[in-house]
Amino acid sequence: MSSIQLFVEGVTDQKFLQDVIAEWYGIDLSIGSIGKPGEIISVDGKDAFDSPEKMKKLSPIFQQLAIQGIPTVVIFDADTFSTNQAKLTLHSQKLRFAYFLFPDNQRDGEIETLLEEIICPDNQIVFDCWKAFEDCLSGHKTSSTPSGSFTTPANKTKIYAYIETLVGETDSEKEKIKDRNRDYRNKLHWNLDPAHPSLKPLREFLDPFFSTK
């Protein structure tokens, strides 16, 4: 049995945290899902604590972890920080877990917000060009959508595009774009320096669970 159990929304979070923890602490955690063993468990979406069906599965797991004295951590997207902070505070009191909300446990956002802030500085041009693309879209109207405006692609799409600009064109290289195959320890793509201002809150949150292990 692991000395810690992390619960996250999905594969992006799993791979990012697996790489971060390996980079910072030299600890390799396994990836799993509800019903499948692992130390970083995907609950398959942000509605885990709102879904009676999922809670039927999750509550016994949290209770057993508490009985065994295994530290339990939930790391979700903040989205609207004040709303999800209140929700997780309530659930954490009942299920006895610590929690962190991406990007920094203080503001609205998501894991993609954090990822955009920790790209390798040499690649900033990718997001500068993306900003120009978004500005261009917002400045035009269309009869093709109900709103009469183009929809700005989601931040998740932006991160996919960022990685796609950095990998090769073969099928095997394109596989590296997928969430489960990303290498956040690649210094040509990402800056995982724990002193990075955007990463300090996460490092300070994780330290008590890993720094002495």
Residue-averaged pLDDT of the chain: 94
Q: How far apart are CA 169 and CA 35, in angstroms?
A: 36
User: Where on the phi/psi map is residue 96: left (φ > 0), alpha (ψ -120 to 50), or beta?
Assistant: left
pLDDT in tens, 87-118: 999 999 999 999 999 999 999 999 999 999 99
pLDDT at 212 (0 to 100): 59
Q: How far apart are CA 105 and CA 98, in angstroms?
A: 12
Q: What is the CA radius of gyration of the chain?
A: 19
pLDDT in tens, 15-71: 999 999 999 999 999 999 988 889 999 999 988 898 999 899 999 999 999 999 999
Please check the confidence at residue 2 and state whether its pLDDT lies above 80: no
Please check the confidence at residue 14 and state whether its pLDDT lies above 50: yes
CATH among 3.40.1130, 3.30.360, 3.40.50, 3.40.190 for 5-112+193-210: 3.40.50
Mean pLDDT of 142-159: 93
Mean pLDDT of 161-176: 95
Q: Is the dihedral of CA 161, 163, 164, 165 positive or negative?
A: positive
Please check the confidence at residue 193 and state whether its pLDDT lies above 50: yes
Please check the confidence at residue 213 and state whether its pLDDT lies above 50: no
Strand, coil or helix: 204: helix
Tokens (6 digits) for 160: 């996919």
The continuous run of DSSP H or E covering 203 comes out as: helix 200-210
Listed in order, the ranges of the chain carrying CATH 3.40.50 are 5-112+193-210
pLDDT band at 209 (very low <50, low <70, confident <90, very high): very high
pLDDT at 46 (0 to 100): 85
